[in-house]
Amino acid sequence: MSLQDTAGDTGLPAGGTVAGVPTRFDFRAELPSLDRWRRIHLLNVAGSGVSRVARLLAARGVQVSGSDPADLPVMAALRADGIDAQVGWDPARLEGVGAVVVSSATKEDVPELAEARRRGLPVLHQAQALALATQGRRRVVVAGANGKTSTSAMVAWTLRSVGTDCGYAVGADLVDSGRNAAVGTAPEFVIEGDESDGSFLGYRPEVAVLTNVRPDHLDLYGDFETVQRAYDEFLDTVPDGGVLVACADDPGARAAADRQRGRLRVLTYGFEGDGTTVPDLHLVDPSHRGMAWESTLRDGISGRTLDLRVKVPGLHNLLNATAAYAVAVHATLEAPEGGAGPEVEAAALAGLAGFAGAKRRFQVRGEADGVLVMDDYAHNADKVDAVVRTGAALAHEAGHRVLVAFQPHLYSRTRDFAAGFAAGLDAADEVLLLPVFGAREEPLEGVTSALVGDRLTTSWRAVDSLEELPQAVAALARPGDLVLLVGAGSITTAGEGVLTALQQRR
Instruction: Tell me the per-residue pLDDT of 408-443, one tens digit each, with 9 for 90 and over.
Output: 999 999 999 999 999 999 999 999 999 999 987 899
Contact 398, 289 (CB under 8 A): no
Whether 60 and 34 have beta carbons less than 8 Å apart is answered as yes
pLDDT score at 29: 87
2, pLDDT greater than 70: no
Say whether pLDDT at 14 is over 70.
no
Within 10 angstroms of residue 402's Cβ, the number of other Cβ atoms is 24
Q: Is the pLDDT of residue 210 over 50?
A: yes
**Is position 149 annotated in a ligand binding site?**
yes
- Average pLDDT for residues 322-335, to the nearest whole number? 87
- DSSP-derived secondary structure for 273-340: TTSSS--SEEEEEEEEETTEEEEEEEETTTTEEEEEEESS-SHHHHHHHHHHHHHHHHSSTT--TT-S
- The answer to whether the Cα torsion of 406, 409, 415, 419 is positive or negative is negative
What pLDDT is stored for residue 333 in this prediction? 65
- Separation in Å, CA 255 to CA 6, 248, 252: 38, 9, 5
Q: Is the pLDDT of residue 219 over 90?
A: no
Whether 2 has a binding-site annotation, put simply, is no
CB atoms within 10 A of CB 290: 11
Q: What is the DSSP letter of 247?
A: E
- Rounded CA separation 76/435 (Å): 31
Among 10, 23, 134, 149, the active-site one is 149
Span 19-45, average pLDDT: 89
Angle at 289 between CA 288 and CA 291, to 5 degrees: 90
Rounded CA-CA distance 62/135 in Å is 13
Instruction: Read off φ and ψ for residue 436, nearest 5 degrees.
Output: -60, 135
Q: In the predicted model, is pLDDT for residue 138 greater than 80?
A: yes
The partner residues of 167 in beta bridges, in order of sequence, read: 189
Q: For the chain, what is the radius of gyration of the CA atoms?
A: 22
Q: Any catalytic annotation for residue 211?
A: no
179/381: higher pLDDT: 381
With beta carbons less than 8 A apart as the criterion, state whether 505 and 369 touch.
Answer: yes
- The count of residues in the chain is 506
159 versus 71: the higher-pLDDT residue is: 159
Which is catalytic among the residues 23, 112, 115, 148? Answer: 148
Find all residues with CB under 8 Å of 367, minimum gap 6, and list them.
373, 499
- Amino acid found at 264: L
**What does the H/E/C string look like for 444-457?**
CCCCCCHHHHCCCC
Catalytic residue, candidates 192, 206, 233, 430: 192
Beta pairing, strands 243-247 & 265-270? parallel
Please check the confidence at residue 5 and state whether its pLDDT lies above 60.
no
Q: Is 472 annotated to bind ligand?
A: no
Q: What mean pLDDT do residues 113-117 have?
A: 93
pLDDT at 220: 83
Residue 148 is among the residues annotated as catalytic for this protein: yes
184 is in an annotated binding site: no
Angstrom distance (rounded) from CA 235 to CA 257: 9
Domains of the chain (ranges, CATH numbers): 32-131 (3.40.50.720), 135-354 (3.40.1190.10), 363-504 (3.90.190.20)
DSSP symbol at 106: -
Q: Is 44 assigned to a binding site?
A: no
> According to the annotation, is 144 in a ligand binding site?
yes
pLDDT per position as a tens digit, 334-355: 666 666 678 999 999 999 999 9
Three-state SS for 34-93 is HHHCCEEEEECCCCHHHHHHHHHHHHCCCEEEEEECCCCHHHHHHHHCCCEEEECCCHHH
Separation of alpha carbons 365 and 15, rounded Å: 42
- 106 catalytic? Reply is no
Q: What is the pTM of this model?
A: 0.83
pLDDT of 289: 87
pLDDT digits (tens, 9 = 90+) for 439-457: 878 999 999 999 999 999 9
Q: How far is CA 414 from CA 267, 418, 419, 449, 453, in A?
A: 35, 5, 9, 7, 11
pLDDT at 176 over 70: yes
112-115: list long-range contacts, CB under 8 Å, 24+ apart: 112/41, 112/43, 112/67, 113/43, 115/91
Query: Of 234 and 147, which is predicted with more confidence?
Result: 234
Find out whether 152 is annotated in a ligand binding site: no
pLDDT at 261 over 90: yes
The 10s digit of each residue's pLDDT in 457-492 is 999 999 999 999 999 999 999 999 999 999 988 998
Residue 339: C-alpha distances to residues 22, 174, 454 (Å): 41, 27, 51
